Chain A
């Protein structure tokens, strides 16, 4: 209990004193996570919608594969990305290992199936609702996908937020590919792991509270900006 109170006090103090290191770590966390979220959404949302609209031979297999990929252990993805980016790996020449870019790549791989799966489920229901109308209006495949994404944007936002939640709290993969290097790849989750290992629970808790605060603020900000709770209008 004392540790939690100490953590709260430390968190409060770190925030109001504009602690430079905390801000640096927090902003890096946000930058890495939001970059991964944008890239993953650009891949996953059209993919999930395409799977809802298009019938093809291996569609069921593709959906099952995406659902299965949601359960992949992040640390294993981190290991695979590490091998791919290491000097002897296929992408070693890019020199990306232990950089924020490597962390973004790992997070994109982790959250793309999450967003695609939720997006597919949402778009499948909307497609069932719109199917007859869009077919009767002689729409092209592209027009159908654009219409579903536009009209299903609230549900897609939920899918993206699920991806954000998974990414901002991720530690295993980014620890492996980022290396938790001070001022380079240290983010909130890896900093928490480090401080816990050092036995500085108050600071670890403070960082944890900041992490929770960021997750809540980002969720509320996205909901407010997108007016998802505004009644009577889409």
Chain B
């Protein structure tokens, strides 16, 4: 693993209407691997992800990227947003925004259609896909620009086991190929399956963080211990 961090958060603070939603917090993400952000509802997981991606305005502190190109990080939302276009057109969209040549775009679209198993639905309206298919499409659309970092906000929430397994397979392959994954989830099983590092959030702050195996085996705080057991943490 590289010692150079691609992303550092220094005393980052997010406030809305006088209420602190996040921070102040410090966090460093290593260059490779999968970081899982755990925490109960309202703990600031989504706000943290959005702030790191740059779509949530921060009111204090600093977020420093080693890689400055915004096209090099992508985001997948909990409720997948699909354009009112065909599946193939949805996939092509991020490349068209960057004026990627048509032949290159078509090749990338064909590759990703095969990879997510939607080759037979390339000309179908994306809004007619199932929830799992939509989420796979959203992930492929995020990955088609070959980002260095992919943020995912509970991408498997409300999906059945089969769709979750398909998405985890894609994410596992993506991480192996070198894309940094930062993902919020409620699913402890998923955290165990995917995580290299865990960030446990509580009340807008990083409560505990470390290597996944160590954090899960030996939680240092009562709150994380309770959360891992499935108890209600507030």
- Listed in ascending order, the chain A residues whose CB lies under 8 Å from chain B are 126, 129-130, 132-133, 135-139, 143, 147, 151-152, 232-234
Contact = CB atoms under 8 A, between A and B. Distances in A.
Contacts of B54: 138
Contacts of A132: 55, 75, 77, 81
A233 B128 CA distance: 9
A151 to B, nearest CB: 4
B169 interface: no
A136 B97 contact: no
Interface residues of B, number: 21
Contacts of A234: 84-86, 89, 125
Nearest to A140: B97
A158 B94 CA distance: 28
A136 B54 CA distance: 8
A151 B85 contact: yes
Would you call the interface of chain A mostly helix, strand, loop, or mixed?
helix
Given A130-B83, A137-B94, A137-B97, A233 B77 contact: no
A154 to B, nearest CB: 8
B81 A138 contact: no
8 contacts: A129-B81, A135-B55, A136-B53, A139-B97, A147-B83, A152-B84, A233-B123, A234-B85
Interface in B8-60: 53-55
A69 B77 CA distance: 39
B71 interface: yes
Contacts of B77: 132-133, 136
Contacts of B83: 130, 133, 147, 151
Contacts, number: 42
Contacts of B89: 234
B210 interface: no
A75 to B, nearest CB: 40
B117 interface: no
Contacts of B124: 232
B143 interface: no
A138 B70 contact: yes
Given A138-B71, A233-B86, A233-B123, 10 more contacts: A130-B81, A132-B77, A132-B81, A133-B77, A136-B53, A137-B93, A137-B97, A147-B83, A151-B85, A234-B89
Interface in B66-119: 70-71, 74-75, 77, 81, 83-86, 89, 93-94, 97
Contacts of A151: 83-85
Given A232-B124, A232-B125, A136 B74 contact: yes
Nearest to B53: A136
A52 B128 CA distance: 26
Contacts of A130: 81, 83
Contact of B81 (A133, A143, A233): A133
Instruction: Specify which of B74, B83, B85 lies most central, judged by the most chain A CB atoms within 10 Å of its CB.
Output: B83
Contacts of B55: 132, 135-136
A173 B75 CA distance: 52
A141 to B, nearest CB: 13
A130 to B, nearest CB: 7
Nearest to A150: B85
Contacts of A138: 54, 70-71
A130 B79 CA distance: 12
A136 B86 contact: no
A232 B125 CA distance: 5
Contacts of B128: 232
Contacts of B97: 137, 139, 143
What are the 4 closest A-B residue pairs judged by CB atoms, nearest first? A133-B81, A136-B75, A138-B70, A151-B84
A37 to B, nearest CB: 24
A181 B84 CA distance: 48
B88 to A, nearest CB: 12
A103 B53 CA distance: 52
Contacts of A233: 86, 123, 125
Contacts of A136: 53, 55, 74-75, 77
Contacts of B71: 138
A119 B123 CA distance: 27
A8 B70 CA distance: 66
A234 B126 CA distance: 9
A137 B95 CA distance: 10
